[in-house]
């Protein structure tokens, strides 16, 4: 049985956008959709100000309204609802233990307007055992830049047909230590969408160059680039064999986070990894995942791996 897709909802526009995104993902996977609202009131002192038996009623009403909207927009997807009485992060992480995917909005009702990704979404992405997708309401697409290398011919002055856009899934690859779970998830998502997979390996100059204080020459850069491209190809080889029908574009460039953010424009999904940690101390999201979550132009999937 296909594990359900779980989405956290709280009535905010961000969570509603996440619910619609999750419904489409559930349709692709042939999975049920579970709408979950985590109600923390019974876990703190505010429960003393109201009858505890009445507190979930408003949550159930909000969930029912969201579920109705999702069912209308995505007929055929089985939609279930549930209220979890717990703190927001703990409740979502626990609810996702049996899910195939957890989807959250970028910010909830308690978020600050200036934050791109709220604290709950960041914490859930850092702790969940299931892959987490953080969804923001859609941004306007970046207009295509005109070619300026030559003047248009007379026959080109009339409006041309707009070329069909090929859907893409972008995945960040650490070619030196590739996470198989991250790549498997990215290839699966590309196959489900009939999309091209853009595998991006962002690399940095060896520390020796920083120590001596100069940049490599052109020939040295070419050698470094060739080595990184070879490492990327090796990291993808086994997964490409398992998915021969998936078109893959390999891209090795300086600067992982910047490259992923740039390539996220127009993408359907950006996939990054997050290493599992054996303890509960310290940050759990790496700098690349953190930066991409805040600045990407597409939904971001954070996939835990060993």
d(CA 49, CA 135): 34
What pLDDT score was predicted for residue 98?
A: 93
Which pLDDT score, from 0 to 100, does residue 147 have? 40
Q: Tokens for 50?
A: 């109201």
- pLDDT (tens, 9 = 90+) of the chain, 306 residues, equals 899 999 999 988 899 999 999 999 999 999 999 999 998 765 444 444 445 455 567 788 899 999 999 999 999 999 999 988 888 999 999 999 999 999 999 875 554 444 456 788 999 999 999 999 999 876 544 444 444 344 444 333 333 444 456 799 999 999 988 899 999 999 999 999 999 999 999 887 777 665 556 777 788 889 989 999 999 999 999 999 999 999 999 999 988 889 999 999 999 999 999 988 655 554 478 889 999 999 999 999 999 998
Rounded-to-integer distance, Cα 41 and Cα 45, Å? 8
Q: Is the dihedral of CA 233, 286, 261, 190 positive or negative?
A: positive
What pLDDT is stored for residue 45 in this prediction? 42
Q: Where are the alpha helices (H) located in 51-167, listed in sequence order?
A: 55-73, 88-95, 119-127
Name the CA dihedral angle for 98, 291, 253, 139, rounded to a multiple of 10 degrees. Answer: 90
The reported pLDDT for the residue numbered 287 is 87
d(CA 174, CA 228): 10
Tokens read off for 239: 């997964």
Residue 193 CB-half CA count within 13 A = 20
CA 64 – CA 79 distance, rounded (Å): 10
- How far apart (Å, rounded) are the C-alpha atoms in residues 136 and 117? 8
pLDDT at residue 143, as a whole number: 43
**Cα angle 5-70-133, degrees, rounded to a multiple of 5:** 35
Neighbours of 77 (CB within 10 A): 19
Domains and CATH numbers, the chain: 5-135 (3.40.50.620), 164-305 (3.40.50.12370)
Of the candidates 35, 39, 44, the one whose C-alpha atom is nearest the C-alpha of residue 63 is 35
> How far is the CA of 297 from the CAs of 173, 192, 264, in angstroms?
18, 21, 5
């Amino acid at each position: 049985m296909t594990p359900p897709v779980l989405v956290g909802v709280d009535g905010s526009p961000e969570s509603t956008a996440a619910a619609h995104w999750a419904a489409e993902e559930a349709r692709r996977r042939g999975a049920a959709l579970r709408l979950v609202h985590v109600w923390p009131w019974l876990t703190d002192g505010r429960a003393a100000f109201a009858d505890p038996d009445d507190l979930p009623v408003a949550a159930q009403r909000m969930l029912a309204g969201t579920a109705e909207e999702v069912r209308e927009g995505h007929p055929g997807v089985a939609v279930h609802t549930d209220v979890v009485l717990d703190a927001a992060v703990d409740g979502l992480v626990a609810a996702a233990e049996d899910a195939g995917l957890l989807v959250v909005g970028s910010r909830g009702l308690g978020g600050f307007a200036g934050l791109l990704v709220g604290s709950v979404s960041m914490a859930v992405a850092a702790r969940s055992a299931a892959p987490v997708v953080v969804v923001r309401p859609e941004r306007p697409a970046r207009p295509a830049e005109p070619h300026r290398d030559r003047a248009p011919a007379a026959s080109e002055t009339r409006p041309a047909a707009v070329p069909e856009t090929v859907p893409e899934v972008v995945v960040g690859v650490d070619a030196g230590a590739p996470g198989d779970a991250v790549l498997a998830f990215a290839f699966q998502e590309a196959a489900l969408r009939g999309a091209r997979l853009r595998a991006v390996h962002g690399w940095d100059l060896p520390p020796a160059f920083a120590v001596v204080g100069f940049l490599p020459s052109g020939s040295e850069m070419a050698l470094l680039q060739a080595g990184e491209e070879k490492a990327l190809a090796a990291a993808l080889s086994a997964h490409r064999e398992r998915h021969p029908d998936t078109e893959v574009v390999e891209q090795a460039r300086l600067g992982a986070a910047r490259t992923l953010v740039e390539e996220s424009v127009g993408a359907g999904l950006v996939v990054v990894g997050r290493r599992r940690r054996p303890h509960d101390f310290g940050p759990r999201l790496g700098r690349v995942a953190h930066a991409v979550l805040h600045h990407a132009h597409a939904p971001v999937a954070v996939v835990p791996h060993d």
